[in-house]
């Protein structure tokens, strides 16, 4: 049984606590919000507003908010402030702890913000006095607890081989695919690409749904069939190589055909138009190479 401390016990943190509790670990949920802590206690959790790392070595999961901003990408002030508190607690620790950031963060945050902040505020050295890893969270808000118990994939990234091996052992009983990386930046970009892919797919089908409405066609019949007929839907390796334009003439021709049809119907299809633009940029780039 491991000691697990969760810093930031909202949607992700509470689900993380539930997951580790399910597998028999000793979990403490920490949150700055006393009302949330009371609610978590009333649900049977060990919850507190005070982070204390003076006891046994723990896995400290950081699930603090990282809201997005349109001009600078992400607002990391709550993450940084929580990390400062965590660093101070690490400074008084008797045993070595492993910090695992689960918040969604921009690339290079682990190396350029998490580790320097923890080292500065603890007076200790990452990789030596404490270990640091980044493990993006893929759970869905609507099924957060179930996803935390049975993740379909866990991504673990750390420059410390020891942290990777500890975390691999910790997550093994959860099942699902386990992927490890020795560079946290890879995992930071994985999480961003993961959400961008899902968002793009949803928007694609919204565009097709609007087209179907305009044509008085059953969008469910179209989507339900294409979800199985298109290689892009059924083959995970299709289209993911990067750096090459569409192969063959059909995709480009039929995307232009669709855009022309939409124009004639007075319909705006910005995602299809952007996909054509992206293909043109890649095609021009590969002609120059």
- Residue placing its CB nearer to ligand NAD in the complex, 137 or 207: 137
Q: Are strands 3-7 and 58-62 parallel, antiparallel or unpaired?
A: parallel
- Residue placing its CB nearer to ligand NAD in the complex, 185 or 271: 185
- Residue placing its CB nearer to ligand NAD in the complex, 4 or 30: 30
Q: Tell me the C-alpha distance between 289 and 285, whole Å.
A: 6
Token pair recorded at residue 187: 């995992």
Least distance in angstroms from the C-beta of 14 to ligand NAD: 8
Q: Tell me the C-alpha distance between 130 and 41, whole Å.
A: 29
Token pair recorded at residue 153: 């994939």
The helix, strand and coil proportions of the chain, stated in percent and rounded to the nearest 5, come to 55, 15, 30
Q: Which helix (H) or strand (E) holds 7?
A: strand 3-7
- Residue placing its CB nearer to ligand NAD in the complex, 148 or 258: 148
Least distance in angstroms from the C-beta of 195 to ligand NAD: 8
Dihedral angle of Cα 24, 11, 85, 192, to the nearest 10 degrees: 110
Least distance in angstroms from the C-beta of 218 to ligand NAD: 31
Token pair recorded at residue 49: 């507003």
Q: How many CA atoms lie within 13 A of 161 on its CB side?
A: 0
- Residue placing its CB nearer to ligand NAD in the complex, 80 or 279: 80
Least distance in angstroms from the C-beta of 107 to ligand NAD: 14
- Residue placing its CB nearer to ligand NAD in the complex, 9 or 28: 9
Q: Tell me the C-alpha distance between 137 and 155, whole Å.
A: 8
Q: Which residue is nearest to ligand NAD (CB)?
A: 10
Least distance in angstroms from the C-beta of 91 to ligand NAD: 16
Judged by the rule CB under 6 A, the positions of this chain that interact with ligand NAD are: 7-13, 30-33, 36, 63-66, 78, 81-82, 85, 102-104, 137, 139, 141
- The CA distances from residue 75 to 31, 102, 189, 207, in Å, are 19, 16, 17, 31
- The CA distances from residue 164 to 76, 98, 130, 160, 245, in Å, are 25, 10, 13, 6, 37
Least distance in angstroms from the C-beta of 100 to ligand NAD: 12
User: Nearest CA to 131 among 174, 95, 103?
Assistant: 95
- Residue placing its CB nearer to ligand NAD in the complex, 138 or 204: 138
Least distance in angstroms from the C-beta of 194 to ligand NAD: 9
């Amino acid at each position: 049984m491991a000691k697990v401390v969760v810093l930031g016990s909202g949607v992700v943190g509470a689900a993380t606590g539930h997951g580790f509790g399910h597998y028999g670990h000793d979990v403490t949920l920490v949150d700055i919000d006393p009302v949330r802590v009371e609610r978590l206690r009333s649900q049977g959790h060990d919850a507190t507003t005070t982070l204390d790392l003076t006891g046994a070595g723990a896995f400290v999961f950081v699930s603090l908010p990282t809201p997005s901003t349109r001009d600078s990408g992400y607002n990391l002030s709550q993450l940084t402030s929580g990390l400062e508190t965590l660093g101070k607690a690490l400074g008084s620790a008797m045993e070595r702890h492993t910090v695992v950031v689960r918040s969604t963060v921009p690339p290079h945050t682990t190396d350029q913000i998490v580790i320097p902040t923890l080292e500065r505020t603890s007076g200790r050295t990452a990789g030596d006095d404490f270990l640091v890893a980044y493990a993006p969270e893929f759970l869905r808000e609507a099924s957060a607890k179930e996803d935390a118990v049975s993740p379909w994939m866990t991504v673990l990234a750390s420059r410390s081989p020891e942290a990777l091996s500890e975390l691999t052992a910790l997550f093994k009983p959860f099942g699902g695919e386990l992927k490890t990386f020795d560079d946290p930046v890879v995992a930071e970009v994985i999480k961003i690409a993961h959400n961008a892919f899902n968002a793009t797919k949803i928007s694609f089908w919204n565009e097709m749904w609007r087209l179907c409405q305009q044509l008085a066609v059953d969008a469910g019949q179209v989507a339900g069939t294409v979800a199985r007929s298109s290689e892009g839907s059924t083959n995970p390796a299709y289209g993911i190589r990067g750096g090459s334009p569409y192969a063959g003439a059909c995709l480009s021709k039929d995307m232009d055909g669709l855009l022309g049809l939409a124009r004639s119907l007075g319909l705006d299809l910005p995602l299809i138009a952007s996909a054509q633009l992206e293909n043109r940029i890649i095609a021009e780039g590969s002609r120059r190479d």
